[in-house]
Amino acid sequence: MNRRQLLGFIAIMAVVLATGGFLWHRHQQTVASIQLQVREATAGKELFAGLCETCHGPGGDGAGGAPILNDGSVLKTYTTPTSLSAFIQTHMPASNPGMLNSQEATDLALYIFRLNHRFPPAHG
Ligand code: HEC
């Protein structure tokens, strides 16, 4: 291998390594984002079962007499996880409004988006 070939080889290796590093980084980001979504979905589900089900029914089916939360109608009023979360934090549970912190309200909002078969981006 002469000097020119050697430099060419080094240049190619640099590109290969940079691309590999970039893809690995993207992969790590995807894994982190999925882990975050799973954590939020689980936390929201548990909170809902403990605090909301008595009035809104299991899975938001309306069995307790309060509005149904899984037929898409609630997302016509609250179109983003942020607006839904703000409403929840200030108004729900109706028996004790204001008891939830913003993380809990966000977890519940994302859970309700999932009940309605909407999957907002992790940072929506
Ligand atoms: C004591 C009964 C009760 C509990 C507990 C309760 N809710 Fe409600 N919820 C209501 C009633 C009644 C309404 C309708 C009146 C209103 O919007 O304030 C409502 C409305 C809502 C709405 C708006 C529905 C729409 O279509 O506009 C959302 C979202 C909601 N609740 C989420 C929750 C969440 C999340 C929890 C648990 C943290 C919860 N609620 C706990 C009684 C309850």
Residue whose C-alpha is closest to residue 84's, from 116, 108, 103, 120: 108
Q: Is residue 43 assigned to a domain?
A: yes
CA of 44 from ligand 1 middle (Å) equals: 15
Task: Assess if residue 77 is contained within a domain.
Answer: yes
The whole-number pLDDT of residue 122 equals: 52
User: Which parts of the chain sit beneath pLDDT 70?
Assistant: 37-41, 119-124
- Cα(28) to centroid(ligand 1), Å: 37
| pLDDT at position 121 | 54
pLDDT at 41: 67
Residue 91 lies in a domain: yes
CA–centroid distance, 88 to ligand 1, in Å, is 8
| Ligand 1 interacting residues, C-beta cut-off 6 A | 51-52, 54-56, 66-67, 69, 73-74, 77, 87-88, 91-95, 108
Q: How many domains are contained in the chain?
A: 1
Query: What does the pLDDT read at residue 48?
Result: 97
Q: What is the residue whose two structure tokens read 């240049």?
A: 11
Q: Write down the pLDDT at residue 104.
A: 95
Q: What is the CATH number of the domain that holds 74?
A: 1.10.760.10
Atom 20 of ligand 1, nearest CA residue: 67
What pLDDT is recorded for position 120?
Answer: 59
Q: Distance of CA 39 to CAs 22, 75, 92, 103, Å?
A: 26, 22, 21, 12
Residue-number span of the structural domain to which 63 is assigned: 38-115
